[in-house]
Amino acid sequence: MANFFIFEADFVDSLRCIPMQVRYNLDTCGIKLKLADWNQMNSDERQALADMQCTNEEEVQAYRKYLQNLILQHTGKTASELPIEQYPDWLNTNKIPEEIQKKASEFSVRITQQQWRDLSPLQRFALIKLSRSGHENKNFPQALKEFNLISSSD
């Protein structure tokens, strides 16, 4: 079952954008998925990509194969590959990436080591993606609130 965030609520019903759960799986299996290709898929295919597990080697390979087939079927082209990080930042509970602290400081927030450890890998992944330059960062403060890193009254 898909794990959607509240800050994604404006598009998860239609899945018109690629949700963080799918983006997490893309980085895990090493496949690049363009929004245009995502939008060529039907709602059942998009939902399947959100629901499929991608945690162990067998699931990662099944996800990768399913996605590669979908992209080929809808675009006539083979999927572009991404390098797979052996130990990505979102799995490292001992070090908070600098770009996250920098982005959080824009909202007068400092994330503690314990708070970082307490987040799920998907939550850490979302913060990393939302803190990157060039990314539309409007959801970063909503994620901070949703993950209880700042109070909702802030």
Per-residue pLDDT tens digits for 3-47: 889 989 888 777 888 999 999 999 999 999 999 999 999 999 999
- Rounded-to-10 torsion of CA 144, 146, 151, 154: 60
pTM of the model: 0.91
Residues in the chain, overall count: 154
For 98-153, the pLDDT digits (tens) are 999 999 999 999 999 999 999 999 999 999 999 987 656 688 999 999 999 986 55
Q: Which two tokens stand for residue 90?
A: 């979102």
Q: Mean of the pLDDT values across residues 55-78?
A: 96
Taking every pair of Cα atoms in the chain, the longest distance, rounded to a whole number of angstroms, is 49
Q: What is the pLDDT of residue 138?
A: 81
Q: Mean of the pLDDT values across residues 87-108?
A: 94
Q: Which two tokens stand for residue 132?
A: 């990157």
Radius of gyration of the chain (CA): 16
Q: What is the pLDDT of residue 1?
A: 63
Q: What is the pLDDT of residue 152?
A: 54
